[in-house]
Amino acid sequence: MKVGIRKVHEDEWWVEIGCATLRLNYFQVELLNILLKEALRLAEGGEYDLLRGFVSLSHKLRLLSDTDLQLLLRQVDDQDLALWLRVLDDAALRERVLHNVGPLVARQLEQDLAEERPVEAEAAMAAIERIMRRAFELDARGEIEFQTEVTEYI
């Protein structure tokens, strides 16, 4: 069976499995990677945790400069930020986000984080999805850029 993935445009990939071809955007490709990693973990006797996969996807925001992160944070809902930060397992990224939002929003988010309310996994995943979709949209339009070790400027 033929299996492959091919980048067609900036925000479009074709995934070919046998005779079927799926057209995916950047967010969907990232989700596919998460699902494949979770499937491997499950096959190795681990436990399936889709929320953990969504949280790991949000770690991609580490690759934004402070300026780009600020631009993104201004364009996402504060409630989504609060839900995401409550499930985020990266203290350094959490602090960076709090540093890059306005002082009033940071204070409100810190108050939300101090509360010991349980977070529904579905709500947290939906919040992360909205944040990451917005980030990928901004990246596709060239307004922000995920900088990796291969990012070069001339």
Give bridge partners of residue 24 from the DSSP assignment: 13
Angle between helices 50-58 and 121-140 (to 10 degrees): 30
- For CA atoms 19, 24, 28, 30, the dihedral sign is positive
Residue 151: predicted pLDDT:
55
CA angle 74, 76, 82 (to 5 degrees): 105
Domains and CATH numbers, the chain: 1-48 (no CATH), 49-154 (1.10.220.30)
Say how far apart CA 68 and CA 90 lie, in whole Å.
19
Residue 13: predicted pLDDT:
72
Question: In the sheet that 20-24 helps form, which strands lie side by side, from edge to edge?
Answer: 3-9, 12-17, 20-24
Whether pLDDT at 154 is above 80: no
Q: Are 130 and 80 contacting, i.e. CB atoms less than 8 angstroms apart?
A: yes
Q: For residue 91, with 0-12 CB atoms within 10 Å meaning exposed, 13-18 middle and 19 or more buried, which class applies?
A: exposed
pLDDT, tens digit, for every residue of 4-22?
777 777 677 787 877 777 7
Residue 28: predicted pLDDT:
77
Task: Identify which has the larger pLDDT, 96 or 7.
Answer: 96
Q: For residue 104, with 0-12 CB atoms within 10 Å meaning exposed, 13-18 middle and 19 or more buried, which class applies?
A: exposed
Say how far apart CA 128 and CA 133 lie, in whole Å.
8
pLDDT, tens digit, for every residue of 127-143?
999 999 999 899 888 89
